[in-house]
Amino acid sequence: MSKTVLVLASRNKGKKREFELLFNGLPVEIKGLCEFQRIPEFEEEGSTFEEIAINKAKFVSKALDLPAIADDSGLMVEALNGAPGIFSARYAGKLATNGQNNRKLLKKMEGKENRSAIFVCSIAISKPTGQILTYTGKCPGVILHKPVGTSGFGYDPFFYYSPLGKTFAQLSVEEKNRVSHRGQAMRRLKDDFQKILTWLED
C-alpha cells in the first residue's frame, strides 16, 4: 500500500519523531520542513491555539502543494484570565527560557488563591485546497508554588495533575502521553484516521 505524505509544519526533529510514533503502523509518511529545500518563513498568527495550528497547516500545505499537519499548545491559568495562553512559549519574551517563563508565571500568581489551570493542544490537518480538520485535547491541573519533578519541559514542574497526585514533571513519558492535552488530541486524531485518509484522497 502506498503511503500518504503528510508534512509536519515544524523543523523540530523531536516533534517529528512524536508524530511518526503516532502514525506508526499506518500508511502515512511524515516529513518535516527540513526535508524541503525551499519554503518561505511564516509567522504564527491567530488568537487561539486552534487558529494558530490551522494557519500553520494551511500555509505549509499551500506552499508545498501537499497535505500538512500542525499543532499549537499552551497553558491557560484561570486567575490570569487565560494567560499565558498562546504566548506560553514566549511569556517572558520572544527568546525566553523555560526558567524565565516560569519565574514570570510565579510572579503573576503571587497572592492568587485560585491556582486552577488547563493545558490545551490543538492539531490541524490541511489540504492544499485549504480544507481543514482539527482535533483538540485539554488537561486540567493546579499551579504549584514551587517546582516538583525533573522530567518534561516548560511549565511541567509547576503543573500538578490531581488524578495521579503528581506534576507533569514527575510523570514518565508514557504516563504523560496517556493524560496530557497533546496525548488526548493525538488519540482523537488517530481514532479518526480512516476518515482522515478518505478525506485526504477526495
Active site residue 72: yes
* Angstrom distance (rounded) from CA 161 to CA 118: 10
Q: Which of 72, 191, 192, 202 is catalytic?
A: 72
| Stretch (H or E) spanning 51 | helix 49-64
* Angstrom distance (rounded) from CA 174 to CA 172: 5
* Angstrom distance (rounded) from CA 180 to CA 117: 13
Residue 79 near residue 115, CB atoms below 8 Å: yes
* Angstrom distance (rounded) from CA 106 to CA 113: 13
Grid cell at residue 179: 493524560
Q: Among 124, 117, 119, 120, which residue's Cα sits nearest to residue 51? A: 124
E strand spans, the chain = 4-8, 28-32, 68-77, 116-126, 132-143, 159-161, 166-167
Residues present in the chain in total: 202
Grid cell at residue 67: 497535505
Question: What residues are annotated to the active site?
Answer: 72
